[in-house]
């Protein structure tokens, strides 16, 4: 047996999310179905984490174990030949048996794309924000999210996680042609954390909150103190890093 690490991009538009669930097709179900055909048996795939319905990935990381003797780079072509065209395996590499896509993840990067004018070609891939946004206010608020904080206020209350302390290493607002995106690099993110941070930042940009309110929201440890949850389709799991952070 050898362990294979896959780097996968997917357009989440037509999926109920990453993780297998009773109702609705998922990324995991598609990948596992193809691997089962290749292996003539069920193959369990582990991801760095789940993504919600309509959320995208540019560099999701998966691992699975295989007894197939084919060269590892052949997995890329073989999988892509059978996967639907909204899921693309970008790379495959053999990794040590100690590699674990979820537990080994040291940093994750998410990006959230938005734009000022509606574009039919980006309707599933960037959120349209028609009100005026003050970028400087949003950048001030972004700086307050960087660091190690208890992000309870920026997570879904039903999420049964004991420890809600996470570290954000980088948070920035980037202009990219007709669009802009928020970029977050962190040790990990709570369920819906990025979408709640983005929803709040947009409300700061719009003037509903002051930038300094973000510190108050963090301190309150109460979901009701933060802003709305931004829609899923602007969000991308951009990459996952497994190297130790100094």
Measured distance CA(246)–CA(244) in Å, rounded: 6
CB of 63 to its own copies, least distance (A): 20
Question: Nearer Cβ to its own copies, position 195 or 233?
Answer: 233
Q: Which residues bind to its own copies, rule: CB under 8 A?
A: 9-11, 56, 80, 85-88, 118-121, 123, 125
Q: How far is the CB of 98 from its own copies (least distance, A)?
A: 30
Rounded CA gap, 29 and 167, in Å?
Answer: 31
Q: How far is the CB of 125 from its own copies (least distance, A)?
A: 6
Query: In the numeric block, which tokens belong to residue 61?
Result: 């990381």
Residue 146 has, within 13 A of its CA and on its CB side, a CA count of: 15
DSSP letters for 60-112: EEEEEEE---S-TTHHHHHHHHHS-TTEEEEEEEEE-TT--TTTT--EEEEEE
Decide whether 38 or 88 has the Cβ nearer to its own copies: 88
| Residue 163 to residue 213: CA distance in whole angstroms | 23
At 76, list the tokens. 């890329």
The residues carrying an active-site annotation are 52
27 or 171, CB closer to its own copies?
27
Nearer to its own copies, 68 or 88 (CB): 88
Distance of alpha carbon 238 from alpha carbon 32, whole angstroms: 22
Measure the CA–CA gap between 219 and 222, rounded to whole angstroms.
8
Report the chain's terminal Cα–Cα distance, integer Å.
32
Minimum distance between the CB of residue 152 and its own copies, rounded to whole angstroms? Answer: 33
Is 242 part of any known ligand binding site?
A: no
Detail the residues annotated as belonging to a binding site for substrate.
110
């Amino acid at each position: 047996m050898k362990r294979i690490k896959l780097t996968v991009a997917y357009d989440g538009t037509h999926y109920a999310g990453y993780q297998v669930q009773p109702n609705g097709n998922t990324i995991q179900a598609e990948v596992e179905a193809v691997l089962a055909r290749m292996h003539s048996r069920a193959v369990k795939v582990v991801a760095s984490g789940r993504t919600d319905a309509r959320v995208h990935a540019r560099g999701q990381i998966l691992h699975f174990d295989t007894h197939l003797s084919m060269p590892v780079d052949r997995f890329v072509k073989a999988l892509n030949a059978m996967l639907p065209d909204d899921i693309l395996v970008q790379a495959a590499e053999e990794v040590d048996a100690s590699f674990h896509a979820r537990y080994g993840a040291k940093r994750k990067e998410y990006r959230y794309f938005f734009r000022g004018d509606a574009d039919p070609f980006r309707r599933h891939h960037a959120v349209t924000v028609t009100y005026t946004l003050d970028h400087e206010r949003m950048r001030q608020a972004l700086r307050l999210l960087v660091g190690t904080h208890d992000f309870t206020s920026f997570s879904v209350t039903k999420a049964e996680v004991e420890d809600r302390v996470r570290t954000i290493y980088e948070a920035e607002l980037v202009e990219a042609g007709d669009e802009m995106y928020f970029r977050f690099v962190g040790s990990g993110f709570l369920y819906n954390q990025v979408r709640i941070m983005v929803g709040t930042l947009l409300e700061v940009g719009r003037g509903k909150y002051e930038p300094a309110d973000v510190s108050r929201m963090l301190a309150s440890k109460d979901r009701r103190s933060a802003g709305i949850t931004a829609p899923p389709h602007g969000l991308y799991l951009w990459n996952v890093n497994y190297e130790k952070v100094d």
